Amino acid sequence: MTGELPPLPFALPDVGEEEIAAVAETIRSGWVTTGPKAREFEERFAASLGEGIEAVAVNSATAGLHLALEAIGIGPGDEVLVPTWTFTATAEVVRYLGAEPILVDVCADTLNIDFAAAAEKVTERTRAIMPVHIAGYPIDAKALAAFADRHFLKVVEDAAHAYPCADGDQRVGAGTSEATVFSFYATKTMTTGEGGMLVTRDPEIAQRARVMRLHGISRDAFDRYRSTASPWRYEVVAPGYKYNLPDPAAAMGLVQLSRAEEMRGKRQAIAERYLTAFADLDVELPPVVESGVHAWHLFIIRLADEAARDAFVAYLSSLKIGTSVHFIPLHFQPVWRDRAGHVASDFPVASREFDRVVSLPIFSSMNEAQVERVIAATREALA
Ligand SMILES: *Cc1c(COP(=O)(O)O)cnc(C)c1O
């Protein structure tokens, strides 16, 4: 019977007629590059996090992370602490600036960066730390701030999984870090197709990121358009990048932003279904957030060992149910492994947990039948 069901992908964007109408209206307006919609998206996104926050819209989280590190002055010879349990983007942006990503092991329960392991990697060249809120489980905000203070480090949070998300009352993006960067990639908790947002409380970081996101030009196209005195005049103050978010994407983002809490609620409900349905199985379930908000971008379960995990993935695949693994630790990727001569035992927790993890489908447009199908297949595979 299940063989006749259509494929159930690991992730799908939750976009509908409202997003389509917003994009179409923006295209019809004639303003198809960065303009009024991007600015409105920035203002609403910043306001959603609280007062005193500035937001800079970019065309990916990778771009935002690069701009954030550039704005805080990371350069050749500097070292930046990066968890090994992340996507390669977190480390690659450090190399864009000629600095060195220093990989750090993670906590066994949350898979977020382990501050004790991080402390052992601090040298006189360490300038910053880039923690990742894995799966949307919030980093301990007080521990992060205390770690940064103790070692005189700047903080750029990779919040690609973490909108909306909070540790206690502390919303991710509204704390004391120099910058926090969200992703609006197709599979993330809200999407603009491709896109990202850098947020900061520091006006100088915001200003630098705005300039560098568009060729190092001191005024963007929309400002020039609005300026009547000399609309053609601009100054290039640095060799910048091309990281701006176009208005049709921003228009989609505005709709997604207005639905972000509703979509998180749906993922939370799916997570609760899974937690209940799998409670009696011989499987390790993801930790729940005691105080705060879990973004539930991913639902990562852990099986006995690599063989059990691979058999599980194969079984769900035979039922046309997509799964994924988040993440292959960076110290296993040739570029990062070979650069630092890493071996598995350098990161005992990540190396061990990697063998066991698998991510189940959890996206807000999943319907009841799809959730049931994942539950039934998982129970069949593991009971
Ligand atoms: C998706 C992701 C990124 C990159 O986001 P883009 O918007 O695709 O550039 C960075 N870090 C983590 C942890 C991610 O999952």
CATH number, domain of 273, equals 3.90.1150.10
Residue 129, classified by CB atoms within 10 Å of its CB into exposed (0-12), middle (13-18) or buried (19+), is buried
Q: How far is the CA of 329 from the centre of ligand 1 (A)?
A: 14
Distances in Å between the alpha carbon of 263 and those of 199, 259, 267, 366? 21, 6, 6, 11
d(CA 17, CA 176): 38
- Among the options 37, 154, 188, 266, which is catalytic? 188
pLDDT band at 4 (very low <50, low <70, confident <90, very high): confident
pLDDT interval class at 222 (50, 70, 90)? low
148/280 same-domain check: no
Q: Are residues 243 and 135 both part of a single domain?
A: yes
pLDDT tens digits, 315-359 = 999 999 999 999 999 999 999 999 999 999 999 999 999 999 999
- DSSP, residue by residue, 24-41: HHHHHHT--SSSHHHHHH
Residues 38 and 170 in one domain: yes
104 and 240 assigned to the same domain: yes
Within a domain: 4: no
Q: Number of helices and strands (H, E) in the chain?
A: 14, 12
**CA distances (Å), 293 to each of 162, 172, 226, 279, 303, in order?**
9, 9, 40, 21, 26
Mean pLDDT of 71-92: 98
Is 185 a pocket residue for ligand 1 (Cβ < 6 Å)?
yes
Average pLDDT, the chain: 96
Q: Cα 58–161–108 angle (5° rounding)?
A: 140
Residue 177 has pLDDT above 80, yes or no: yes
Q: State pLDDT tens for residues 364-381.
A: 999 999 999 999 999 999
pLDDT band at 289 (very low <50, low <70, confident <90, very high): very high
Report the pLDDT value the prediction gives residue 220, as an integer from 0 to 100: 62
Residues 342 and 228 in one domain: no
- Cα-atom radius of gyration of the chain, to the nearest Å? 21
**In Å, how far are 48, 162, 221, 271, 276 from 181, measured between CA atoms?**
14, 9, 23, 24, 32
Are residues 291 and 240 located together in one domain of the fold?
A: no
| Eight-class DSSP state of 331 | G
Residue located nearest, by CA, to atom 1 of ligand 1? 160
For residues 212-235, average pLDDT: 80
* 335 and 196 within one domain: no
Alpha-carbon span 381 to 360, nearest angstrom? 13
Task: Among 256, 286, 320, identify where a domain stops.
Answer: 256
- Classify residue 238 by its DSSP letter: S
Task: Decide: 157 in ligand 1 pocket, CB within 6 A.
Answer: no
Half-sphere exposure of 180 (CA within 13 A, CB side): 30
Residue 285 domain-assigned?
Answer: yes
**87 CA → ligand 1 middle, Å:** 6
Q: What pLDDT is stored for residue 302 in this prediction?
A: 98
Residues 286 and 236 in one domain: no
| Whole-prediction pTM | 0.97
Q: Pick from 199, 222, 256: which residue ends a domain?
A: 256
Q: How large is the average pLDDT for residues 160-183?
A: 98
User: Which of the listed residues 190, 221, 256 is the one where a domain comes to its end?
Assistant: 256
CB of 62 closer than 6 A to ligand 1?
A: yes
Could you tell me the residue range of the domain that residue 323 belongs to?
Answer: 260-382
User: 206: CA distance to ligand 1 center in Å?
Assistant: 20
Note if 266 is an active site residue. no
Residue 8 domain-assigned? no
Same domain, 131 and 274: no
User: Into how many domains does the chain fold?
Assistant: 2
**60 close to ligand 1 (CB < 6 Angstrom):** yes
Q: Ligand 1: distance of its center to the CA of 187 in Å?
A: 10
Do both 371 and 358 map to the same domain?
A: yes
pLDDT at 212: 98
